[in-house]
Chain A
Amino acid sequence: MPHRNGSGSQVRHYSILEYARFRWFKTSLGLCAIAAAAYLWHDPVPHPYGGTWLGYTLGTAGAILIAWLLWYGVRKRRYAAAGNLQGWLSAHVYLGTALVVIVTLHTGFQLAWNIHTLAYVLMLLVVASGFYGVFAYLRVPRAMTANLGDDSIASLVMRIADLDRDMREKAMSLPDTLFSLVDRSIAGTRLGGSARRLLSGRDDACPTAGAARDWPSQASALKGDPAILGKEVFGLLLRKEQLLVRARRALRYQAILDFWLYLHVPLAFMLLAALAAHVASVFIYW
C-alpha cells in the first residue's frame, strides 16, 4: 500500500514476503527443488522411506530447520542480534514452508498411527498456523487502520464515556422505561472480557444495541419537548453503538493477531517434543 512519509516522497511498503527481492523465497524454492530432485533420482528398495541414506539426510535437514525456526522465538526478543528482524521473519516464513516439502519427502509418504507420523502432523499444524499468522499479518493491520483511523481503543472508550454522561443527563427527563434503557446501556455495556466476544467482535447481549433497537417503539408515545429530548438521546445511543462496533472490531483484529500465536507457539513446542521422541525411538531401535 503506497503512502507518503514525512518528507513527502513516495515510499513503497515492502511486506516481509518481498524482503530483499524474495531472497528467502528463492532460497526455499532452491532447497525444495534439490530435495525433490534427489527424491526422484533416488530409487531405494523397496520404496522411499525415512531410513534410507536420503531419508536420513532429509530428516537431518528437517530437524536442523526446525531447531533454527524455533530459534526465531529467541531471536525476536534480542535487539542486538545479527541480521535485521524483518529478514529473519521472511526467512522464518519461507524456510518454514520449505520444511513441509523436505519433511514430506523424508517420510516417503509412509504414514501410520505412531509417534513418527504424530511428529509429522504436528509439523504440518505448526506450519498451517504459521500460514494463518502470515495471512493475518498481511490483512489485519490494514483493516485495523481502516477501522480505527486516528482513534485508539482507549480514545473510543473515553468518547463513549462522554456520550454516557451526556446521555444520562438528558435521559433524566425522560420516562422511566426510556431512562432504564439508557441506564442499562451505561451500566451494562462492556468490551471484551471473553475469548468469544474478543474473537467474534460481537456482544450478543450488548445493552446498548438492545436500547438502540427498542428505543423507537418505546419512545413513540413521547410528545412535545420530551419527544425532542428522546430523539437527542436516541442519536447519542446510535453514536455510542457505532463507537462500540468500532471498538469491538478493533479488539477482534487485535485478538486475531494474537490468537494464532496461541496455537503456533504451543504446537511448535509439542513438535519439538515429538521430534525428540521420534529421533530417540529411531535410534534406540536402530
Chain B
Amino acid sequence: MKVLVLHSAPRAGGRSSVVRKTVNAEWVRIGRNASCEIHLADPRIALEQGMIVNRDGLVYLEGEAGSQDISRKAVRAVRMKPGEPIDIGPYRMELIATPQGYDAAVSVSLLRPRETVADLGSRSARQTLASLGFSKRGAAWIGLLVVLAAFLFFPAGRVLHLPWSGGGSDRMWNPGPVMLAHQPIADRCEACHETAFEHVTDRACLACHATVGHHVSVAMRAGMLFDGVRCASCHREHKGVKPVQRDDDRFCIDCHRAIHAQAPDAHVKDTSDFARSHPAFVLSVRDPHLAFPHDKHLDPHGVRSPKRGRPRLDCADCHVPDASKRMFEPISMARACQECHRLDIEPAVTTREVPHGDPRAAVAMIEEFYAALALNGVADSFTRAFGVPGEGLLRRVGTPSTGERQDALRLATRKAAAVASDLFEVRVCKTCHEVKRQSAPGAKTPEWSVAPVSTTNRWMPRARFDHHAHERTPCKECHDVARSKSSRDVSMPGIDACRRCHAGSSPQEGKVTSSCLLCHGFHDARFAWDPRLAKAIAK
C-alpha cells in the first residue's frame, strides 16, 4: 500500500503549509510517537493513537483507549470515504482523490490549534522584592507617620492643648519614675512643668514646700550668690522612687574653699575637706546657772537615793534619746532629778513637795500648808510642825478668841517663813540653783528669785550629729565627764575625736568616708527661700 499523506500545518500569518509524505507500508500508524508514519507531535494525541489499514479500501482503526494493540480489540473502525472526514483528537483526517501512482491519499489538518504553553520567562517576571509590590518608600512613610502620630502628636495633645487633648496621654514621654512622695502627682505633669518649653520653676516647688529655707539670706543672694540656681539644679526628679539630689562635696567646696571671695560677709571659715581643712568646732556655750557635778553623780560607789539605797547611775539614767533617737530630750527636773532631789516641804512633818519652777508658788504652798495645819491640824501633826503642844484652831472646844486666832496665824506665818528660807537657801533649791532672796530680811512673806537654768541641748547647732548612728560607741569616748565637778565644764569632743573614725571625702582605710552633707545641711530655716513668695503662698 502506497499512501500519500498531505499534512497541513498552520503557519504564522494565518496561512498554512502542506507537508507531503509518501508512505509505503502494510499499514499507516498515526500517533505522537516519532516512529509513526503519520506523526502528530501534539500532547493531545496518544503515543500511538490509531492506524490505517487496507481492507478493500482504507479503514481507520483505533485501539482501546488509543492503545497500540489494535489486534485484540478495535473500539473504533471507520471505513474512510471521501467527503467523510474522521476526527482524531484535534485533527481531522479525510480521504482525498488518489493521485497517479498511489493507492490512496489522505489529508490531515489541525482543527483546533494547541494552546501554546508560555515559556519559563513568563513565569519568571517577579524576580525581585520590588516586583512583589514591596516598597521601601511606602514603608518608610507609613513608619514615619505612625511613629510621629503615636509618639509625638497624640501625647502632645495634652500639654499643648490640641483638639484631641482629652484623650491624649503623655505617659510615654516620662523618662523615669518619680520619687514616692511625688507619685500622687506623677500623672499631672503640669503640677511641676507649668509652661511648655520652660524649665520647672522654684515657684512650682514652693507651692507645696513653702517653708523650705535657703542657704543664705536674701541680702547675700542679692550679690549674685546662687544666681540662676533652681531647686531642680540639685533636686533631680524622674530618677527613681528614692529622692535624688546633689550631695557631692564639690557642690559645697566650690564656694567654701575660699568663701570670702564669694561672700565677704560670711561668718564661717574656709574648708575643703573634713580630714584636711576643716575648722575647729564652734560650740554654743553659755552659763547654765546650775550646780551639777557629773563626778558626784557618776560615783562608782553609787549615790544616795531615798527609795533605792545606793544605785550606781550611768548616763542613760538622765539622758534619754528624743523621738528621732539622734539627739536627747532636754533634761527635766521631774524626770531626771526629782526622784532623789525631793522638794519636801518638811520631811519630818509631811511627804508633800513644793512645785518646781515657780518660787512664788512654792512659797504660797508652804504658807498654805502651815496655815491649814494651824487651823485644822490634828494634835500629833500640830505638835511636830510647830514644836509646841496643841491642835488646829478649829479642833479646839469652843469658839476661838481673837487672841487665839492671832496666835495661830502668827505661828503658821513664822513657821512657813522659816521652812521656806530653809528650803530655798539651805536644804533644797540652793543645792542646784543660784538662789537670791528678793525681799528685805524679816519681811512677812519672803521672796526668792532663782537664776533661770539654761542647759545646752544642741552644742553644735550648724551640724547634725546622729547619736543613734553612734550607739555602739561608749558615751565617755567623746564626753569625758567622770571627773567633771562643774556644769560649766564643757565635755564636747573636738574635731580630732571625730577624725579618729571619720575620713574626709577621700576614702581611708578603717575610716568612714565623710562628705560635707554627712553632718551639714544645705537648707537653713532661718532664711526663707523666697520671702515674697512664701508670703504670697501663705495668703
**B48 to A, closest residue via Cβ:** A173
- CB-based contact B127/A175 at 8 Å: no
Shortest Cβ distance from residue A74 to the other chain B in the assembled complex, whole angstroms: 13
Q: Please tell me if B481 contacts chain A, counting CB pairs below 8 Å.
A: no
- CB-based contact B152/A157 at 8 Å: no
> Which chain B residues in 430-448 approach chain A with CB under 8 Å?
none
Question: A265 with B47: in contact, given A46-B244, A276-B152 (CB under 8 Å)?
Answer: no
B163-190 Cβ-contact flags toward A at 8 Å (1 or 0): 0000000101111100000000000010
Shortest Cβ distance from residue A117 to the other chain B in the assembled complex, whole angstroms: 9
- CB-based contact A115/B196 at 8 Å: no
Q: Please tell me if A23 contacts chain B, counting CB pairs below 8 Å.
A: no
CA distance A254 to B41 in the complex (A): 39
Q: Please tell me if A245 contacts chain B, counting CB pairs below 8 Å.
A: no
- CB-based contact A284/B196 at 8 Å: yes
Among listed B136-144, B253-261, B341-349, interface-contacting one: B136-144
- CB-based contact B120/A114 at 8 Å: no
Among listed B154-162, B350-358, B462-470, B529-537, interface-contacting one: B154-162
Shortest Cβ distance from residue A105 to the other chain B in the assembled complex, whole angstroms: 16
- CB-based contact A46/B236 at 8 Å: yes
Shortest Cβ distance from residue A132 to the other chain B in the assembled complex, whole angstroms: 15
- For B46, B139, B143, which residue has the most chain A Cβ atoms within 10 angstroms? B143
Q: Please tell me if B147 contacts chain A, counting CB pairs below 8 Å.
A: yes
CA distance A113 to B244 in the complex (A): 21
- For B129, B141, B236, which residue has the most chain A Cβ atoms within 10 angstroms? B129
CA distance A191 to B445 in the complex (A): 127
Q: Please tell me if B217 contacts chain A, counting CB pairs below 8 Å.
A: no
Residues of chain A within 8 A (CB-CB) of B34 are 172-173
A145-184 Cβ-contact flags toward B at 8 Å (1 or 0): 0000000010001101100100001001111100100010
A65-96 Cβ-contact flags toward B at 8 Å (1 or 0): 00000000000000000000000000000000
Q: Please tell me if A41 contacts chain B, counting CB pairs below 8 Å.
A: no
Question: A284 with B43: in contact, given A46-B236, A254-B128 (CB under 8 Å)?
Answer: no
Shortest Cβ distance from residue A58 to the other chain B in the assembled complex, whole angstroms: 16
Q: Please tell me if A261 contacts chain B, counting CB pairs below 8 Å.
A: yes
CA distance A198 to B131 in the complex (A): 11
Question: A254 with B140: in contact, given A45-B236, A191-B120, A280-B152 (CB under 8 Å)?
Answer: no
Question: A274 with B124: in contact, given A172-B43, A285-B173 (CB under 8 Å)?
Answer: no
Residues of chain A within 8 A (CB-CB) of B141 are 269
Q: Please tell me if B12 contacts chain A, counting CB pairs below 8 Å.
A: no
Residues of chain A within 8 A (CB-CB) of B33 are 172-173
- CB-based contact B127/A198 at 8 Å: yes
> Which chain B residues in 113-137 approach chain A with CB under 8 Å?
117, 119-121, 123-132, 134, 136-137
- CB-based contact A286/B130 at 8 Å: no
> Which chain B residues in 13-68 approach chain A with CB under 8 Å?
32-35, 41-43, 46-47
- CB-based contact B151/A191 at 8 Å: no
Question: Per a CB cutoff under 8 Å, which of A272, A276, A281 touches B155?
Answer: A281
**B154 to A, closest residue via Cβ:** A277
Q: Please tell me if B248 contacts chain A, counting CB pairs below 8 Å.
A: yes
**A46 to B, closest residue via Cβ:** B244
- CB-based contact A116/B175 at 8 Å: yes
- CB-based contact A161/B129 at 8 Å: no
Give the size of the chain B interface in residues (CB under 8 angstroms).
Answer: 64
Question: Per a CB cutoff under 8 Å, which of B32, B123, B128 touches A255?
Answer: B128
- CB-based contact B130/A110 at 8 Å: no
CA distance A235 to B74 in the complex (A): 37
Question: Per a CB cutoff under 8 Å, which of A47, A157, A190, A265 touches B136?
Answer: A265
Residues of chain A within 8 A (CB-CB) of B174 are 114
- CB-based contact B196/A172 at 8 Å: no
Question: A161 with B120: in contact, given A195-B134, A262-B134 (CB under 8 Å)?
Answer: yes
Question: A179 with B139: in contact, given A118-B151, A192-B127, A281-B170 (CB under 8 Å)?
Answer: no
Q: Please tell me if B111 contacts chain A, counting CB pairs below 8 Å.
A: no
CA distance A115 to B151 in the complex (A): 7
- CB-based contact A286/B199 at 8 Å: yes
Q: Please tell me if B75 contacts chain A, counting CB pairs below 8 Å.
A: no
Q: Please tell me if B500 contacts chain A, counting CB pairs below 8 Å.
A: no
**B243 to A, closest residue via Cβ:** A46
Residues of chain B within 8 A (CB-CB) of A183 are 43, 117
- CB-based contact A45/B43 at 8 Å: no
Q: Please tell me if A259 contacts chain B, counting CB pairs below 8 Å.
A: yes
Q: Please tell me if A232 contacts chain B, counting CB pairs below 8 Å.
A: no
Residues of chain A within 8 A (CB-CB) of B197 are 283-284, 286
CA distance A261 to B199 in the complex (A): 41
- CB-based contact A45/B246 at 8 Å: yes
Residues of chain A within 8 A (CB-CB) of B147 are 270, 273-274, 277
- CB-based contact A191/B123 at 8 Å: yes
- CB-based contact B129/A259 at 8 Å: yes
Shortest Cβ distance from residue A130 to the other chain B in the assembled complex, whole angstroms: 14
Shortest Cβ distance from residue A80 to the other chain B in the assembled complex, whole angstroms: 23
With A187-B117, A194-B132, A274-B151 already in contact, 11 other A-B pairs whose C-beta atoms are closer than 8 Å: A45-B244, A46-B244, A153-B124, A157-B124, A172-B34, A186-B119, A190-B124, A254-B127, A258-B128, A261-B136, A282-B175
8 smallest A-B Cβ distances: which pairs?
A: A273-B147, A191-B124, A266-B139, A277-B152, A190-B123, A270-B143, A281-B173, A269-B140
7 residue pairs from A and B, CB less than 8 Å apart: A172-B41, A172-B42, A173-B33, A258-B130, A265-B140, A273-B145, A273-B151
